[in-house]
Each structure stands twice: as structure tokens, then as C-alpha cells.
Copies of this chain bind each other. A is one copy, B any other.
């Protein structure tokens, strides 16, 4: 039996960017990154020009992202905050995919502690099929299963063009998105998901 690949060799990781709509944005971003560092076990964080790269297994990424976004929301202290998250698995290189093999995913439990921070988010899930089972080429099927799971958890808030809207505690939204992304990965090698959070938006209630 082949050993399980590591998050590093399988290319499991994330990119995240915090956008506080506040003149205090530098303090909010740097403060939140420092706060999340204490949750950083198992996560390699590398700040880039546009966003921060996070490498690690699914449970570590979920814990880190939850801590980071909750910390940013606390530091924003009621001011509007947008956060973009990209999760990717199955393509460990930068622009090229070096892996050619079977899809793989752990089945470790993925839960996150409630933060008390409410958010609305737009979510897209992209199974990219490379190296996967040809039967998986009906790529909408795992997406529909993920949306069914969103409905079952009560987080589903509506359908937009190209995205599903979720509403709830930041931890619950992240847990759903990380879990479905990981679970689609058991059938499809290369899977990417994008998530855009809006927190404390003045238009959130009116548009809901």
C-alpha cells in the first residue's frame, strides 16, 4: 500500500487576503495575522504581494482561517471587512501540475469552533478533473452534492450567477467549504474553491 501523500507533496493549501474597509486597515491586517499565529501549528504562512499563501492539511487550514478571519472581524470592530479565500488541492506546483495519479483525500473530521462572527459569502467550487476518473467528468454532480450539504446545514442563502451565497457564523461557513472541497477531492484530483466573505456590510441587511 502506498503511503498517503503529505499536504506538501499533494499541494493542499490556500491563499487568503483581508480587506478591511477602514483607514486602520494596516493595523487590522497585521494584528489579525499575529493573532492567528498562535493557531499556526501545521500551517506555513507566506505573505505575498497580493495575498498570503497557507500550506497545511485541511484541519490545520480550517483552524487557521477561522482564527484569522474572526480576529480580523474583532479588530475591525464593526467596520466593513471583505475576505477572499482560495483553497486548492491536487496540483502541488505553481502553475504546472507535477502529480499524475489517483485522487486522494483524508477522512479526518473537519469542524471549527463557533466564532460569533456573522458573515455572508459567495462560494464557487471547481473540480478540475486532471488525472481523475473519467466518470467524474460530469463535474456538476459533486457541486450539486456540496450545495445540498449547504442546504442541509442551513447555511444556504441563495443562488447567484456563478456562485452560491452562504450566510452564518464564519466557522460554520469555512467548515462547510473546506469539507466539501476535501470530499470532492476524494473523486477528483485537482479541486479549487473560491470564497468571498462580507462582514459588517452596511448593505447586507437591506439586500438580504
Contact = CB atoms under 8 A, between A and B. Distances in A.
Copies in the complex: 2
A21 B25 contact: yes
Interface residues of A, number: 62
A95 B49 contact: no
Given A19-B82, A22-B23, A143 B95 contact: yes
Interface string A131-143: 0000001111001
Interface of A: 11, 13, 15, 17, 19-23, 25-26, 47-51, 53, 55, 80, 82, 84, 86, 88, 91, 94-97, 120-122, 124, 126-130, 137-140, 143-144, 147, 159-165, 192, 194, 196-198, 201-204, 207-208
- Tell me what chain A mostly uses at the interface: helix, strand, loop, or mixed: mixed
B95 A15 contact: no
Contact of A13 (B88, B139, B161, B196): B161
A15 B84 CA distance: 14
Nearest to A25: B21
A53 B161 contact: yes
A95 B164 contact: yes
A84 B124 CA distance: 14
Contact of A96 (B97, B129, B140): B140
A192 B162 contact: yes
Lowest 9 A-B CB distances belong to which pairs? A94-B159, A19-B19, A21-B25, A88-B162, A49-B207, A50-B122, A50-B198, A23-B23, A19-B82
A163 B21 contact: no
B122 A15 contact: yes
Contacts of A201: 49
A131 to B, nearest CB: 9
